[in-house]
Amino acid sequence: METENKNPIQVADRLFGALEFLSQRKASGLMEVARALSLNKSTTHRVLRSLICLGYVQKDGDTGQYRLTSKITDLAADSQKNR
């Protein structure tokens, strides 16, 4: 059943969708991310701003491109150390 596979928290889909999309690229612009996630520009901007505030994404001030930081890999490394 399709509804069982749908994430009940829409913002989680959007946040992780952006992370997964950016993980496949060196950097991407706002519109490229919006198209990939099938979201409008303002929603995508809020998603990316949230990820920036959380430290997972950074925006290049010169190019306007978004890219992942090392925070996720740092979390994974910390997780392995604590096992």
pLDDT digits (tens, 9 = 90+) for 1-41: 455 777 778 999 999 999 999 999 999 999 999 999 999 99
pLDDT at 29: 98
Instruction: Assign domain 9-81 to a CATH class.
Output: mainly alpha
- pTM for this prediction: 0.85
What residue type is 58 in one-letter code? Answer: Q
Angstrom distances, CA of residue 48 to CA of 3, 22, 23, 44, 77: 26, 10, 13, 6, 24
pLDDT at 51 over 70: yes
